[in-house]
Structure 1
């Protein structure tokens, strides 16, 4: 399997995993009070998924990733105080420090990968070498 196909497959699996983590519990109805998600948990999930994805790129090692959010979650409640809608925060920046991050080709590949995965522009992503 060539590198581009493998990278695309890994990216697709990572997106699927993130969607399951983020939206997996939102189907169906229940009378129990729904607990609202936390920003810290959301950021930790994004960072761990990005870490797995970036670490799988050829030439990348020992990644550290930081994600910043534009704002927090926004919630809509029903008359009983249950959370009925959740608007997830938008990512406003990602920083990656990794072995190989100073190589222009790897820097571009990581930037493109993160940009397409999170729907943010390349100027919101910083990649540096260790």
Structure 2
């Protein structure tokens, strides 16, 4: 999997995590499995709000910008590095209305765009908009 990039494929990672939870359940029972799952996911779950539940960074960013009547962000591929089976994408996000220009990186164009959008959401300019 590592040689072909499968170790970064979400379905492969999900299968591995499921197998670990299954092993904990088989070895320690329901309560032990529940403890492990809660310990792993609680930090992520505690940050969910009704406005962000189930939404990715690009969607959240677009909603913030539209709510404030700003134009949509623009995404451009800056560079694609690596062999075809193990590429890394670098994407630039521009939000002209706010003077924001950042880059994101990922194993796919979509992941790089999500990374760039998250960086924009984390930027001081956007944090100030959200109050």
* TM-score relative to the length of structure 2: 0.28
Structure with higher Rg: it is: 2
Q: Report which of the two has the higher share of strand.
A: 1
Greater per-residue helix proportion: 2
Q: Which has the higher contact order (CA 8 A, sep 6+)?
A: 1
